[in-house]
Structure 1
């Protein structure tokens, strides 16, 4: 009886502290449950819908809880730019997510690292991308190789009599080949897709896990939750995912080590080679404590793969769904392509003339709203936002999913209207509220590559191919919300335009 009373007293102290002391330190928001926070809301309602509902109820700054971690969420475009851009250094930190102790070697890599580790390796990654041709014709040629392979394969299937296409699968392997060639120097084969299917499965499972209620609830105390019923299954999924990722990326790194001449003066042809050569150079010079370690390489490869494959392929899948469901958009795109391009391959030189195609890409990014919850930041000092004093080390995010569906910025926001990105002269423009890659110093590292891929795949596929719905097999457009928002499985008809 005595132990019960002690436990009851401790629980009462915890509840009083949680509800009447901790919550009052932050902007208002939905009422959390002890220990699990607001994660319970995601069981019956998709994350992006929850955020939109909470934003409507609590305004442009609010607090929600994942487990016992409060997260301040900002939903107003101007406030986002005033904080994450104009005062960027105050929001440059990352939440120290406990799952990273299991999913990667600690807070390494490009997404979750901080301080000099993050700055040095982000700068290095951007330099490698530039050396591999980003911003020059060399990277365009890399991407066009996979664009042409996609179109050639599709036309071959059309000639063979195929009438039903799972186009998402073909986009998937194409985008996967682009990022794989950048990371490891080779493309996936369409004839034997075994390796790609394995790599894709690993990425998809990790993205799905990161969006699950169990995963979010366990975040801060997974080492205890893993012994409880129901939660143990999530722990084992995370454990096995990490094991498989380490095997996949570890094999790639070891294969490179066998064949790379670390003393060679020749320019590296992929990210792993560039990293290993830079690591060797620093070791040879006797630089003590540098950040270019084996663990950092592994985590950076994981981050680049997850961000570079899943997001771009899924955005393109949504784009073609929208184009199929809105045939007048497809006609306008193709009329513009006919006028300025003809039957040749579209390149970046054509971009300036293809205003409607650019607007279609932008509208697909906005409407699909790929990331239901942004990667959390952490304040590096005390700040004040909209009259609320936010203490140092608070987890905070710019919730771009609500911004891009906000009627204040995008009237009739749930409709697909590329024209909203054309000015009175028919020229494409992108307002600041269009922020699919986030904003500030921690905006998406791969934005330049993703924009290149989105334009070249969209313009060339629409120029060479005609897409339609199959009678009796309508595309539902159902949104499956996890770490990213993917469409329900779909098929389409495709015919060749040339």
Structure 2
């Protein structure tokens, strides 16, 4: 009996030792504990991207550890490592764990969490038709200016209704930005005060602030989720928030179907996609209703929240740097006179553009992007990345790389201007990523953020609350970053 127990203990110890062994040439990193790996030590009280940057200071630009006994997690930090990782096609996969796909009907659908031929076909189709419909083009500028005018009226009214001109900026930009996006996707505009619509946008915000990418990719078996339905929420994946969003999208799709006749010109992206579904009806097609819902959901959640969050940071930095705010306003007034800035003015507003670039560098709203997956064993900075590894690419570390920026901790818009005062791009300025996975909404986002920022700077003066310090520039913690809720004194300017 005693010999049998000893044998069991020896085998158990041998098993645990084997589990703790790392593959040859695996990147350096923390060990964690047997069976659970580093999972129990994942950071909870600071942004995950910052925790990974601190880890890189100790272990190097490519850091490796395990989540559980079998899932390698690779954190990639710094300009050189990030650039190599994002140009390595072997790392262009996406994870497919139970928690990851819980928000897309339990399947790899949509545009964000898909890979291989499916991803390439859907991305090419989506990008081509969104461009045709106005993504990144001046043809959508009239829609943008209409939303900006309504926003200005809203902020002006809020400022005048308060004796101290204090305005609450919580979620104030989200409806405006979404309406620009939805004009292209769904061809409809929503009122800023629509309570049901605002609740949908609030659901998106709650989801995106709910967890970090390392928790999402933990390999939780599907049967555990069935036994314990609250488990995803405990790990930060509040997939129930997406049920009303999916219902909203499905209702929009059904309305498109019922209001179109065969041969009608496509009004928006949903129409274009429905046409493709009908065209490929006889084939084993990737174009399905669930895929359309998931794609629109991805465009909806990624596009509206990140752009509105970026605009929020623009206002925060104007409050924190009033001298720079004044310099922006003077440049805009000298160029635009009494009119609001347009995209045609952009080349003549280099300091304003430099300010926007610097805010985006300091406050990346998607500091880690979406986790990648090693499709096969590959190399990264000389280290071996095992097949199936989750690869977290720290975009923020590019924006804070001391080699590329010199003093990245300092806010200096002029760093983006050359000796002639013209805007230039540092190759490490990559808030939208690089490579084949670059954000497909980059051009629309850049135009949106420029027009909103320039219009707000020209129309209002933003100041801290009386006898209070400026609102914090620290981001919220979650899947993406955003400004913390803040209030400010807003003084409408007379032109």
For the aligned residues, what is the CA RMSD? 2.7
Q: Distance in 1 between matches of 2:226 and 2:269?
A: 36
Whole-angstrom CA distance in 1 between matches of 2:29 and 2:448: 38
Structure 2 residue aligned with 1:419, among 402, 410, 414?
A: 414
Match of 2:155 in 1: 154
Secondary structure class of the residue paired with 2:402: coil
484-493 vs 326-335, which moves further: 484-493
Unaligned runs of 5+ in 1: none
Three-state SS of the structure 2 residue aligned to 1:48 is helix
1:486: how far off? 2.3
For 2:188 and 2:216, locate their aligned partners in 1 and report how far apart those are by CA, in whole Å. 35
Tell me which residue corresponds to 1:484. Answer: 480
Structure 1 residue 473 displacement after superposition:
4.2
Tell me the residue number matched to 2:279.
281
1:27-50 CA-partner distances (Å, limit 9, x unpaired): 011223332634523124431221
CA apart distance, 1:6: 8.9
Does structure 1 residue 108 correspond to structure 2 residue 112? no
TM-score normalised over the length of structure 1: 0.90
Task: Report the Cα distance in structure 1 between the residues aligned to 2:298 and 2:232, rounded to whole angstroms.
Answer: 25
Match of residue 267 from structure 2: 269
Q: Secondary structure at the match of 1:480?
A: coil
SS of equivalent residue, structure 1 residue 426: coil
Deviation at 1:123, TM superposition (A): 1.2
Runs of at least 5 residues in structure 2 that lack an aligned partner in the other structure = none
Map Cα deviations across residues 149-207 of structure 1 (whole Å, 9 max, x no partner): 111322344444561112343212211222222222112212x3212222112212221
Distance 1:101 1:217, change over 3 A: closer
Residues 83 and 103 of structure 1, relative CA distance in 2, 3 Å threshold: closer
Divergent runs of 4+, >4 A: 1-11, 159-162, 225-230
Contact kept? 1:31, 1:38, Cα under 8 Å: no
Between the aligned partners of 2:433 and 2:119, the Cα distance in structure 1 is 17
1:92 CA drift (Å):
2.2
- Determine which of 324, 334, 339 is the counterpart of 1:339: 334
Taking the aligned partners of 1:423 and 1:314, their CA distance within structure 2 comes to: 28
Kept in 1, the 8 Å contact 2:374–2:390? The answer is yes
Shift of 1:241: 2.6
Q: CA shift at 1:441, angstroms?
A: 0.2
Residue aligned with 2:72, SS: strand
1:12 corresponding residue in structure 2: 13
Change (3 A) 1:342 1:223: farther
In the TM superposition, what is the alpha-carbon distance from 1:264 to its structure 2 partner? 2.4
Q: Aligned in 2, Cα 1:66/1:45: closer, same or farther, shift over 3 Å?
A: farther
Instruction: Tell me by how many angstroms 1:57 deviates.
Output: 0.7
Q: Equivalents in 2 of 1:225, 1:467: separation in Å?
A: 47
Q: Deviations over 1:249-289 (max 9, x none)?
A: 2222222222122x2241x2222122112211222xx3x11
Change (3 A) 1:232 1:7: farther
Alpha-carbon displacement from aligned partner over 1:262-321 (angstroms, at most 9, x marks no partner) = x2241x2222122112211222xx3x1111111110110111011101111111111210
SS in 1 for 2:485: coil
Match of 1:73 in 2: 75
Question: Does the 8 Å contact 1:168/1:313 carry over to 2?
Answer: no
Displacement of 1:422 in angstroms is 1.1
The correspondence of residues 191-340 of structure 1 with structure 2, limited to 5 A, is: 192-211=193-212, 215-216=215-216, 218-221=218-221, 223-224=223-224, 227=227, 231=231, 234=234, 238-261=238-261, 263-266=262-265, 268-283=266-281, 286=282, 288-340=283-335
Partner Cα separation in structure 1 for residue 294 and residue 376 of structure 2 = 27
Conserved in 1, the CA contact under 8 Å of 2:365 and 2:480?
A: yes
Does the 8 Å contact 2:144/2:448 carry over to 1?
yes
Alignment pair present for 1:353 and 2:348: yes
CA offset digits 1:36-94 (Å, max 9, x no partner) = 63452312443122112111111111114444521222223234334423xx4333222
Structure 2 CA distance for aligned equivalents of residues 18 and 253 of structure 1: 49
1:358 Cα deviation from its structure 2 partner: 0.8
Return the offset for 1:413. Answer: 2.0
